[in-house]
Amino acid sequence: MNSQRKFFTISKGEITWIIFACTGRQPWTIYHKLSTADSVTTAGNLGLLFTLFVAIYMVLAVSAILVLLYYFKKNPVLEDINRTEQKNVSLTGSNS
């Protein structure tokens, strides 16, 4: 259950960034200079390119999840806290 909480904490940050920071952005469209209708491409075969991008990002997402799960299984948080406390390092406060 603890590893699930870690996974959802990390994924929540990523999903929030995608939904709120990236959705609706059109950096190629200039306000009052180039409208969205004028900046739309007329190129064909975009379905294949879109499919390739989705596939690549799915592979990257699965890879990131597997790496994080491996890391958290190999280094549980409680063990990290115990090692830190044994070294007499403060877990709170400033870094200085």
Find the helix packing angle between 2-16 and 46-74, rounded to 10°.
Answer: 150
Every domain of the chain and the residues it spans: 2-86
pLDDT at 30 over 70: no
The predicted structure's pLDDT at residue 59 = 97
Structure tokens at 53: 């991008």
Rounded to an integer, the average pLDDT of 5-32 is 72
Confidence band, pLDDT 50/70/90 cuts, at residue 54: very high
C-alpha closest to that of 10 among 66, 82, 75, 81: 66
Indicate the pTM of the whole model. Answer: 0.49
pLDDT at 28 over 70: no
Other beta carbons less than 10 A from residue 78's beta carbon: 8
Confidence band, pLDDT 50/70/90 cuts, at residue 31: low
Say whether 35 sits in a helix, a strand or coil.
coil
